[in-house]
Amino acid sequence: MHNKIKDSMRLTYPPLKLLNRDTSILAFNERVLSLAQNPDYPLLERLRFLCIVSSNLDEFFEVRAAPHVDAMRDDEQQSDINVQSYQSIALAAHELVAKQYQIFNAELMPALAAQGVHLVSHGERTPQQRRWVARYFETEVRPLLVPVALDPSHPFPQVANKSLNFIVSLGGHDAFGRNNNIAIVKVPRVLSRLIKLPKSLSDKQQKFVSLSSVIRAHLASLFTGREVLNFSQFRVTRHSDLAVDEEDVKNLRTALRKGLVQRNFGDAVRLEVSYGCDEPLARFLLQQFDLPKQSLYRVHGPVNLARLIQLADLAEGNHLKFKPFEPKVSQEIAPNQSFFTQLKQQDILIHQPYESFESVIDFLHEAVNDPDVLSIQQTIYRTGADARMLKLLQEAVRRGKEVMAVVELKARFDEEANINWAEALESVGAQVVYGIVGLKTHAKMLLVMRREGPHLKYYGHISTGNYNPRTARLYTDVSMLTADPQITRDMEHLFRHIASQVKLPRMQKLLVAPFNLHRQMLSKIRATELSAKQGKAAKIILKMNALTDVALVQALVRAGRAGVEIDLILRGACILPIDAPGLDGRIRVRSIIGRLLEHSRVFYFPS
């Protein structure tokens, strides 16, 4: 075997052909979709995974699709993103969506109906149910619907990203005798997408109606004196990755706030319509949104399938849902004892969500209420709706402590929440900074400075996850509380660097992107490769969200060809081709998906 590896090292290999990142993302979502078919999972949880795929696809199109659509419009043939690449991605996306609706219609909804949970269409409703729905439409829905008949003075309206809409083809003439035959009905987001029927109309079962079916059943009543010839629900997805030139703005927060307003009306990248949408109406919509035909998705069901996650939340039945998962307090944490006392003795490692994130909040709570604590510094990336940490930091300011928060405003799709946090902290006198121009502050750090006699002592929390109590119950993450002087000193230097942009000193223990993390990863891979070339047993295990860095992939392939055994545990996208010449099965890639979202990053280079 050793001679075989030596022989392979002498070979010259063709240029490494990397896997396509976008098709890899779609393949990941296909793996998630497989959980919707897992017979071992409760039915409402299977529905939840189906809806998660829809949400993931929304983000995929919002963030990744625009260059491909542009290439299709411009008939681009030269770059890596061209007509052919878009067609292959569109084909994979169409197949995934078709499979998704097949599972929804043929598997999940019949199975849920057998368990007494029904999504009742207009044709299935009893006369009593139809009367109730009609009253609901008249009182709750109709007042918010304003149909727009298209003519020169009423052009095609602005349709917001991912909003529910209807296009209607009309016969006859309007009130002025004109035959403007197309109208648009925009459905406000304030309306609930799922309505539960009263128990008195549900025969001791749980029956729901979708908002789209309620509107569809009463669409004709919006056009008195006109004949509804054809109609379809539709939904457009728009490019939504905020692009702000940080070098050219005076206030990043203000610029992002303005950008959030415009996000809902970026360039269209995908159009979803009902499967039976009239062909002329579909062509009309494609023309209005300037989209190629590959961007049209005809679906057998509600176009806003992601919103049906409400059914998983609203329906009752313990047998239809996962048993509630209760994290345990880490065994390393002594009850009723100060964190500061414990951390003088040892670090505390917390594996979330198996071990509770509440310990981190308890640590911050103790720091806020300890009169010997002088300052608290924290990075804030994705905070969620739980405001306990925000209130604790505000209380720290009121108690006279110095508080600095590094708020990452560019956390995709969480920008508004983070802007609100920043403003709330500034309003009480905390120092708020937004990181470094051109870079995203994605580290999770909490540093506490405490006076202990004549000395200042630092205590820290560092994690691969977010300071978000909700996702801390759903994502696996590694989290550490420490008083290690080298780690906390590195953290102090890093906070100072972010705030003042002074040169970052040499780190003792922390690896910080973009300064030394990438270089050290390549160095460790190279060292393992050299060990293999010397005939030593060599192994690498890497666990991460995704692997899309070209330099790291090339380094891993070189190491594999040199004889290193490599295990990659990747939840999402991977561009490394494990069947590249010379690897001979030495690189293995596994994707772990399940009830919990794998979010921890662990890199293991055994010596």
Q: Which of residues 459 and 240 earns the better pLDDT score?
A: 459
pLDDT, the chain, mean: 89
Q: What is the predicted pLDDT for the residue at 70?
A: 84
Q: Do you know the residue count of the chain?
A: 607
Q: Which residues pair with residue 475 across a beta bridge?
A: 597
Distance CA 308, CA 110 (A): 15
| Out of 255-269, 276-290, 337-351, 555-569, least confident range | 255-269
Confidence band (pLDDT; 50, 70, 90) for 441? confident
- Residue 306 sits at φ, ψ, to 5 deg, of -60, -30
Distances (CA, A) of 260 to 512, 553, 588: 30, 35, 41
The answer to whether 468 and 388 are in contact (CB under 8 A) is no
Q: Which of residues 24 and 436 earns the better pLDDT score?
A: 24
Confidence band (pLDDT; 50, 70, 90) for 247? very low
Mean pLDDT of 465-487: 88
Over residues 489-538, the pLDDT tens digits come to: 999 999 999 888 888 899 999 998 888 999 999 999 999 999 999 999 99
Which residues are the active-site residues? Answer: 442
Q: Which fold has domain 339-500?
A: Endonuclease; Chain A (3.30.870)
Distance CA 388, CA 382 (A): 14
Over residues 63-111, the pLDDT tens digits come to: 888 888 888 877 766 667 777 888 889 999 999 999 999 999 999 999 9
Mean pLDDT of 335-363: 94
Distance CA 334, CA 362 (A): 12
Domain residue ranges of the chain, discontinuous segments joined by +:
2-18+516-604, 62-320, 339-500
Burial of 196 (0-12, 13-18, 19+ CB in 10 A): middle
Q: Is the pLDDT of residue 248 over 50?
A: no
- The answer for residues whose C-beta is within 8 angstroms of residue 515's C-beta and 6 or more apart is 504, 507
Distance CA 448, CA 459 (A): 5
Instruction: Tell which CATH classification among 3.40.50.300, 3.90.1150.10, 1.10.1060.10, 3.30.1840.10 matches the domain 62-320.
Output: 3.30.1840.10
CATH code of the domain occupying 2-18+516-604: 3.30.870.10
Q: What percent of the chain has pLDDT over 90?
A: 68
| Out of 9-13, 41-45, 388-392, least confident range | 9-13
Do domains 2-18+516-604 and 339-500 share one topology? The answer is yes
Over residues 554-580, the pLDDT tens digits come to: 999 999 999 999 999 999 999 999 999
Q: What is the predicted pLDDT for the residue at 261?
A: 56
Sign of CA dihedral 379, 384, 386, 387: positive
Which among 93, 94, 115 has a CA at the least distance from the CA of 47? Answer: 115
Q: Is the pLDDT of residue 273 over 90?
A: yes
Distance CA 159, CA 272 (A): 13
Q: What is the predicted pLDDT for the residue at 93?
A: 95
Sign of CA dihedral 110, 111, 113, 117: negative
Specify the 3-state DSSP secondary structure of 182: strand
Q: Which residues of 217-229 are buried (b: 16+ CB within 10 A; e: fewer)?
A: bbbeebbeebebe
| Out of 175-189, 299-313, 387-401, least confident range | 175-189
Confidence band (pLDDT; 50, 70, 90) for 389? confident
